[in-house]
A and B are shown apart, each in its own frame.
Chain A
Amino acid sequence: MGSTGGDRAILPTVLLFRRPDGAFSAALRERYRILDFRASGETLPAFLAAAAAEPEPPRAAIVVGGGSVLVDVSFLDALPSLRCVVSTGAGVDHIDLAECARRGIAVGNSGEVYSTDVADYAVGLLIDVLRQVSVAERYVRRGSWPVQGDYPLGSKLGGKRVGIIGLGNIGSRIAKRLEAFGCVIHYNSRKPKDSVSYKYFPNVHNLAAESEVLIVACALTKATWHIVNKDVLEALGKDGVIINVGRGAHVDEVELLVALKEGKIAGAGLDVYEHEPKVPAELFSMDNVVLSAHAAVFTEESRSDLWAYTIGNLEAFFSGQPLLSPVHADSLG
């Protein structure tokens, strides 16, 4: 006599739209029946149609931003059983939040899992740009120190006014760190925060005009698309430095290139770009620019935290609890 599932609970079905590593895959399959989109080789419409046609169609999906799968009206129409979307990232600009809210679909993101690493990277990029760490490194490695002598001077971090766009999980951690370096913290967000004593600027142009450093750390929404535009870059000025650890679309990349080429700002540290992984080649030869490959979140620690947190969100959903990190359209930034 076989034991066809008699002594094992039926696992809920979860759709998976990102490539898992071994640890995540094993942890997921202990708890859920996984339908892996990438592994299926099917087109998105075919995959969703097949899932929707199952006797117990899936109620939850794990998604990720930056790829081709958008949780938009056509996605949601194709899978009416969906009640929960968990994104394995902080950003949720690939999800139509208003549509999900209309349909009563809970949306969760990665909460604060990434916040610390992104904040650390923003600080690391800023010190690199101001003190020219990467460029000085190249100077040493190509043997210039004995030949050309002392390396030129950089710029002191302490005392600089830092304008942070977005004082959420990431922005507030950046603020706490840079305060310890003697920076003066200014910020912009949709509403002032009573819990902090930093100077609030309702207008990003004014924030830039009164800061030597501008750091983008807000969510990407219609309102924050190109929030750093030509006008803001001009207000930041020729001694100003911009650090982008938000989304490429936060900054008008064409205008940024012009500003850098013409010396209208002093430098930049960029982890994100408008058309990743394409990076404008003009940036490669600029010594006042430090580039990264959307890697501010890439640590072993945040990766394993992420798997645990994502499963935490799913477990909360399946046991009828609120998600660990629910995202609402109006709770961003």
Chain B
Amino acid sequence: MAMDSLSVLLLYPVNAYLEQELDRRFSLLRLWEHSPPDSLFRAHGSAIRAVVGYPGHKVDAALLDALPSLEIFSSFSVGIDHVDLSECRERGIRVTNTPDVLTDDVADLAVGLAIAALRKIRQADRYVCAGLWKAKGDYTLTTRFSGKRVGIIGLGRIGLTVATRVEAFDCPVNYYQRTKKEYPNYTYYPSVVELAANSDVLVVACPLNEQTRHIVNREVIDALGPKGVLINIGRGPHVDEPELVSALVEGRLGGAGLDVFEDEPNVPEALFTLDNVVLVPHVGSGTHETRQAMADLVLGNLEAHVLKKPLLTPVV
């Protein structure tokens, strides 16, 4: 079967290279070119055999009903909490994601956010640009990053990569996950609260599912404490956001570095006035190199599907 006969629906212009290649290799439909979206489903719904999506667009029974010929959903992400996997399984729809290629970038950002939060890098930059170094003298003392106890929720690919990076800074590594494994250099804690109580920096690096929603709640935040820093490179719903905001505003939590939020792209405005947080707009995998690698994985999975070869990175 020829590649270009595969009718692919792209839900969002998430990456120019990906879109260009999908157009070149397959028969591409772009959801956003149809207004209302229903008109696309009415006209082409039964022909579409593949969908390329991303975390901002739910793949649920309603969408799957509109695409009765759907064979494969390929997500431009490693997280697949936006996909109803049991529905896909029931309908025999394959699902792929983009693991491994973005692990380094996400881990790099986690460490970068932690250093930035503790050493107040962007605040120092603002201090200089506002002319305050000349006017007011030296910037304030901050706190050392090296040697801080780093607690990681979830020692999967990303969590382990964060661990090896912070080890180079002589940070003791603690972790929590559902099953304890044998890591001679890392200390296991049987609950997130105990992990937080014994860590200076808490990193959220687990997948989002029913068990991990709000895994960082008020109790965990209080255990992390007024000198603790929370780094979220997972998903917004991992953290009880209103609790996080009030803890930061009230000084019950020392600081935070956040790449994800419960209602992206909306960020609680109360955070904007705080000096002890670093806020970035879901850029964990946001490098040219990694987005290209992710796109190649999506394309490779679709091609394998057409050629009836094993999928490269199947989830279902």
Chain A, range 287-303, C-beta contacts under 8 Å to B: 290-295, 298-303
**A299 and B112 within 8 A (CB):** no
**A284 and B281 within 8 A (CB):** no
**B165 and A180 within 8 A (CB):** yes
Q: Which of A51-59, A68-76, A89-97, A116-124 contacts B (4 or more CB under 8 A)?
A: A116-124
CB < 8 Å neighbour of A151 from B144, B267, B286: B286
When A and B form their complex, what is the total count of cross-chain residue pairs whose Cβ atoms lie within 8 Å? 175
With the chains together, A276 CA to B137 CA distance in Å? 10
Q: Contacts of A284 on B, CB cut-off 8 Å?
A: 128-129
B224 within 8 A of A: no
**A293 and B278 within 8 A (CB):** no
Chain A: CB-nearest residue to B265: A145
A177 within 8 A of B: yes
Closest CB in chain A relative to B157 CB, distance in Å: 14
A124-B121, A146-B265 as given contacts; A300 in contact with B104, CB under 8 Å: no
A25 within 8 A of B: no
Chain A: CB-nearest residue to B286: A153
CB < 8 Å neighbour of A299 from B121, B142, B265, B289: B142
Q: Contacts of B143 on A, CB cut-off 8 Å?
A: 299-301
A279 within 8 A of B: yes
B222 within 8 A of A: no
A141 within 8 A of B: yes
Chain A: CB-nearest residue to B134: A277
Closest CB in chain A relative to B309 CB, distance in Å: 29
B61 within 8 A of A: no
A116-B146, A124-B145, A158-B104 as given contacts; A181 in contact with B165, CB under 8 Å: yes
**B104 and A292 within 8 A (CB):** no
A311 within 8 A of B: no
Closest CB in chain B relative to A293 CB, distance in Å: 4
**B144 and A293 within 8 A (CB):** no
A180-B167, A291-B124 as given contacts; A146 in contact with B133, CB under 8 Å: no
CB < 8 Å neighbour of B125 from A141, A276, A278, A290: A290
**B116 and A128 within 8 A (CB):** yes
B306 within 8 A of A: no
**B112 and A293 within 8 A (CB):** no
Chain A: CB-nearest residue to B274: A141
**A293 and B129 within 8 A (CB):** no
Q: Contacts of B39 on A, CB cut-off 8 Å?
A: none
**A154 and B124 within 8 A (CB):** no
The size class of the interface chain B forms with chain A is 35 or more
CB < 8 Å neighbour of B124 from A151, A277, A292: A292
**A120 and B165 within 8 A (CB):** no
A137 within 8 A of B: yes
With the chains together, A141 CA to B280 CA distance in Å? 9
Closest CB in chain A relative to B161 CB, distance in Å: 9
With the chains together, A292 CA to B105 CA distance in Å? 24
B168 within 8 A of A: yes
A156 within 8 A of B: yes
CB < 8 Å neighbour of A133 from B121, B134, B141, B147: B121
**A117 and B144 within 8 A (CB):** yes
Chain B: CB-nearest residue to A180: B168
Q: Contacts of B287 on A, CB cut-off 8 Å?
A: 130-131, 153-156
A157 within 8 A of B: yes
B21 within 8 A of A: no
Chain B: CB-nearest residue to A270: B128
**A120 and B289 within 8 A (CB):** no
**A120 and B266 within 8 A (CB):** no
A38 within 8 A of B: no
A127 within 8 A of B: yes
**A302 and B167 within 8 A (CB):** no
- B113-137 to A contact mask, C-beta < 8 Å, 1/0: 1011001011011011100011001
A176 within 8 A of B: yes
With the chains together, A158 CA to B102 CA distance in Å? 11
A134 within 8 A of B: yes
**A279 and B133 within 8 A (CB):** yes
Q: Contacts of B145 on A, CB cut-off 8 Å?
A: 120, 124
CB < 8 Å neighbour of B141 from A128, A157, A292, A300: A300
Q: Contacts of B104 on A, CB cut-off 8 Å?
A: 156-158, 181-182
Chain B: CB-nearest residue to A285: B129
With the chains together, A159 CA to B165 CA distance in Å? 14
A179 within 8 A of B: yes
Closest CB in chain B relative to A94 CB, distance in Å: 17
**B146 and A120 within 8 A (CB):** yes
The interface centre, meaning the residue of A124, A158, A299 with most chain B CB atoms within 10 A of its CB, is A124
B86 within 8 A of A: no
**A278 and B134 within 8 A (CB):** yes
**A128 and B122 within 8 A (CB):** yes
With the chains together, A155 CA to B112 CA distance in Å? 13
With the chains together, A292 CA to B116 CA distance in Å? 12
Interface on B for A, CB 8 Å cutoff? Answer: 14, 104-105, 108-109, 111-113, 115-116, 119, 121-122, 124-125, 127-129, 133-134, 137-147, 164-165, 167-169, 264-267, 272, 278-283, 286-291
Interface on A for B, CB 8 Å cutoff? Answer: 116-117, 119-121, 123-125, 127-128, 130-134, 136-137, 139-141, 145-146, 149-151, 153-159, 176-177, 179-182, 276-279, 284, 290-295, 298-303
7 shortest interchain CB distances as A-B pairs: A127-B112, A180-B168, A124-B115, A145-B265, A156-B289, A134-B122, A156-B287
Known: A116-B146, A145-B265, A300-B142. 14 other contacts (CB 8 A): A120-B169, A123-B115, A124-B115, A127-B111, A145-B266, A145-B281, A146-B265, A153-B287, A156-B287, A159-B289, A293-B127, A293-B138, A298-B138, A298-B139
7 contacts between A and B (CB under 8 A): A119-B146, A133-B113, A153-B286, A153-B291, A293-B128, A298-B138, A300-B141
